[in-house]
Amino acid sequence: MKFKLMKALMATTLLVSSLTGIGAVSAATETNTDQAQIRIHKRIFPAGETSTLTQNTGEIMNFGGKALNGAGFSIYDVTDEYYHKLGDKHSETEINTVISEIQDESISAAPDYATKIGNEITTAGEGVADFAKLPIHKGGQYAAYLVLETTTPVTPTITKKAVPMVVVMPVYKPGTTTINSQIHLYPKNETDEDQKVLTNQANFTEVDFNGTKYPNVSSGALLNYALTVNIPVNIAEANVQSFVIQDAPSNGLVLADLAAVKVGDLVQGTDYTIAATNNGFEITLKTDATNVKQLAGQKLLVTYPMQLTASVDPDQVIQNKATISVNNQPGTDLIVKTVTGGKKFKKIDAQTDKGLAGAQFVVKKGDQFAMFKQGQADTYLFDKWVSDEAQATKISSGNNGQLSVVGLANGNHSLIEVKAPNGYLLNENNRPTKDFTVVAGQYGTETISFENIRKGGFLPQTGSIGIYAFVVVGLMLMGGAYFWNRKVKR
C-alpha cells in the first residue's frame, strides 16, 4: 500500500508495551499513578531527511530537524478497536500488524471508532504540545491511543506530514519495568524548496559582471524559465484558503506570450486562473478542484518564455522573480539573474561637435548584419543576425545626434555609416566605420562619437582625386594664358 511505503519513509516508530503488559492490568508493573502525559516535540526536516529510521523511546531525545510551531495535534481513544483487532493474538508481529491496520485506517482522518479526547493542541515554543492526564487503563485493560496531526501549518510548505502514531499503554522506561508517565514523541514533517531555473541557460555564455558570473543574454533569444512549485500536503484542508504563483520581472524583461505559460497538466479555468500582471503573470490555483487536491505533497512544474524589451538597462542585472503565496503570505523570492549589453553613439559635425540627426547606420559582427526593433528615444533593440546587408536595419541618429543599441551579447562589432545627414558628405567607396566592443555593465561608461564633414567650402586632401582635378584645371588656364599672350605680341 502507498501509505505503508510512506510509513517506511517517514520512520516514526511506534511505542508499544512489552508483551507481558498487554491485556489485564498486572500488579507487578503497576505504579502509583494511573495517568500519563504525552508531550509532542514537532520537528521539521528538509526533503529526504526523514527516511532514516529513528526509534522513539518515550524519553527526551536529540531527534534532529528543527522545531515546528503551528501544527495541531489531536489524541483519540482507540482501545476497544485495538483489542477487537488483536483478539487472542499476542506475538510482537501480530501486535505490530494490528497497529499498522489502525494507522492505515487513520491516514486521511480519524476513523469512526476513534473517540477524540479533549481539544486539538497547537505546537508552540519549541514545537511542543502537551496532552496531560491520559488514563493508562480503560475498563480493566491498558488504554490505546491514536495521535494524529490534524492541522498542518500553512508555512513553511509541508510536503509530508507526520504519520499516525499509536501508543499502547503502559510505556516503560527503556530497559526497566517502570512505567513511563512522561512520554515524549517526535513526529516529523518534511518541507521542500521551490526552484526556478533558466532552462536554456546552456545557450548563453557566462560573463563577469561586477565580480559575479551571469548568463549573457541577447534580446534576439527567448529566455525559457521553469518554476518547480511544491504543493502543500494540506492543500485541500480548510486552513489553505488561497495559493498564488506570481512572476514579476525587473524593468526590461516581459512575458513573451501569456498563452505559452504551461501549468503542469492542470486545466485553465477548471483548475486555475491566470492573468498578465506587471510584465509577468499571476496564477491562482483553485484549491477545491479535484486535480489540484490530487497534487497534495507533489510538485507542479510551471514553464514560460520571456524576452528583453528596449527599456532594458545594460548597466543593471536583469532579475526575474517568482513568489509563491499561501493565504497571502509570501514565501521566499525565487530569482534568476541575467545580463545583457549595449552601446551609445553620437553623430557630430567634425568642426563644431554639434549633434547631427538623420545619419543612418548598420551594425555588423563578423560577416553578419543586425536587425533591430525600434525602441524609445532613439534606442534600438537587437532582434537577430542576417547575412544580407540589404535586410539589415538602418538605425538613425536622433535630433541631438544620439542613438543607442541594446540587447547585444558581449563581443566585437562595427557601426557602418550608410547615409550621411543632409548637407554632409559620405564616401560611398570607403564608408566611415567605427569598431566597438560590447561589455555587459559598461553601457553608460562611454559614448562613441562619429564625425561628418559638411559639403562645400573644403579643400581636397593631398593625394585624392580632387587634387588632380585642380592641377589639370590650373595647367589648362596657364596654357591658355601663354598662347593668348603670344598671339597678342604678334
Give the class (CATH, top level) of 2-190.
mainly beta
Q: How far is CA 211 from the centre of its chain?
A: 23
**Better pLDDT: 338 or 446:** 338
Residue 465 has pLDDT above 60, yes or no: no
pLDDT digits (tens, 9 = 90+) for 365-410: 999 999 999 888 899 999 999 999 999 999 999 989 999 999 999 9
**Better pLDDT: 377 or 290:** 290
Residue 7 has pLDDT above 50, yes or no: no
How does 271-293 read in b/e, with b if 16+ C-beta sit within 10 Å? bbebeeeebbbbbebbbebeebe
Please name the CATH architecture into which domain 341-452 falls. Sandwich (2.60)
Nearest alpha carbon to residue 133 among 250, 222, 34? 34
Residue 245 has pLDDT above 60, yes or no: yes
Residue with cell 519549541: 126
Nearest alpha carbon to residue 377 among 405, 352, 414, 338? 405
Phi, psi of 34 (to 5 degrees): -115, 20
Residue at 337: amino acid letter: K
**pLDDT of 50:** 80
- Judge if 195-338 and 341-452 fold alike in CATH terms: yes
The answer to which of 46-55, 238-247, 315-324 has the lowest mean pLDDT is: 46-55
Residue 6 has pLDDT above 90, yes or no: no
Euclidean distance between CA atoms 262 and 177, whole angstroms: 61
**pLDDT of 13:** 37
Residues linked to residue 223 through DSSP beta bridges, in sequence order:
306
Residue 9 has pLDDT above 50, yes or no: no
Euclidean distance between CA atoms 460 and 465, whole angstroms: 8
**pLDDT of 477:** 54
Please compute Rg for the chain using Cα positions: 39
Mean pLDDT in residue range 420-437 = 92
**Better pLDDT: 464 or 329:** 329
Euclidean distance between CA atoms 428 and 378, whole angstroms: 25
Nearest alpha carbon to residue 419 among 372, 347, 359? 359
Name, of 27-31, 92-96, 272-276, the range with top average pLDDT.
272-276
pLDDT digits (tens, 9 = 90+) for 129-163: 999 999 999 999 999 999 999 999 999 999 999 99
**pLDDT of 24:** 32
Per cent of the chain over pLDDT 90 is: 77
pLDDT digits (tens, 9 = 90+) for 432-459: 999 999 999 999 888 889 888 887 645 4
Per-domain boundaries in the chain: 2-190, 195-338, 341-452
Number of H helices, E strands in the chain: 5, 35
Mean pLDDT in residue range 468-479 = 52
**pLDDT of 30:** 43
**pLDDT of 29:** 40
Domain 195-338 has CATH 3.40.640.10: no
**pLDDT of 55:** 78
Mean pLDDT in residue range 299-318 = 97
Euclidean distance between CA atoms 22 and 166, whole angstroms: 14
Q: From the CB of residue 66, how many other CB atoms can be counted at a distance below 10 Å?
A: 14
Residue 474 has pLDDT above 60, yes or no: no
**pLDDT of 145:** 98
Residue 11 has pLDDT above 50, yes or no: no
Residue 4 has pLDDT above 70, yes or no: no
* Cell digits of residue 465: 582625386
Cβ proximity of 373 and 361 under 8 Å: no
Residue 69 has pLDDT above 90, yes or no: yes
| pTM more than 0.75 | yes
**pLDDT of 16:** 43
Average pLDDT, the chain: 88
Write the DSSP string, 146-196: EEEEEE--SSSPEEE-PPPEEEESPPBPTTSS-B-SEEEE--EEEE---EE
